[in-house]
Amino acid sequence: MAEDKNSIDIDYVANLARIDLSQEEKDRFQKQLGDVLVYFEKLSAVDVEGVEPMAHPFPVYNVLEEDVVEEGFTAEEALMNAKHQRNNQVIVPKVVE
Low-confidence ranges of the chain (pLDDT < 70): 1-7
pTM of the model: 0.43
For the stretch 36-54, pLDDT in tens is 988 988 988 889 899 888 8
| 34 alpha carbon, distance to own chain's centre | 23
Choose among 25, 30, 23: nearest CA to 9. Answer: 30
| Pairing, β 89-90 against β 85-86 | antiparallel
pLDDT score for 2: 42
Three-class secondary structure of residue 48 per DSSP: coil
